[in-house]
Amino acid sequence: MSDLPHCPSCRSTLTYEDGALLVCPECAHEWSPGVAETAVLAGTLVVRDANGNVLADGDSVVLVKDLKVKGATSSLKVGTKVKGIRLVEGDHNIDCRIDGFGAMQLKSEFVKKS
């Protein structure tokens, strides 16, 4: 009998280990064993930046990678500061407003807390 945790996304019991990650074959969700469990058990949304720091609503972040923006003539450059972020669930888990670009959704893996 396996003692692996249930999938935090769909609560499936069919999870398996793949290297350092746990994987759910039903919804294809992948997560680190310790981090996802504490986020689900606490019932709160835990979002981490590129360095592993926990982000919160209202934080200021800095881009760590040039990002191409669909429909824009230029891209967002490394070092662009974003103030007053809002955390949301989903693939792009940061809602923000960037001067010169407007409302944007960013992935937390491309920002660091400033």
Taking only the tens place, the pLDDT of each residue in 13-65 is 888 998 888 888 888 888 777 654 444 444 567 888 888 888 999 999 999 99
Asked if residues 29 and 9 have their Cβ atoms less than 8 Å apart, the reply is yes
Q: Where do runs of H (alpha helix) occur along the chain? A: 33-42
Tell me the average pLDDT across 77-100.
92
Distances (CA, A) of 21 to 15, 44, 45, 46: 10, 21, 19, 17
**Residues shown for the chain:** 114
Bridge partners of 47?
55
Give the pTM: 0.62
Asked if residues 8 and 31 have their Cβ atoms less than 8 Å apart, the reply is yes
- In this predicted structure, what is the pLDDT of residue 72? 86
Asked if residues 59 and 49 have their Cβ atoms less than 8 Å apart, the reply is no
User: Cβ-count burial of 76 within 10 angstroms (0-12 exposed, 13-18 middle, 19+ buried)?
Assistant: buried
Bridge partners of 21?
18
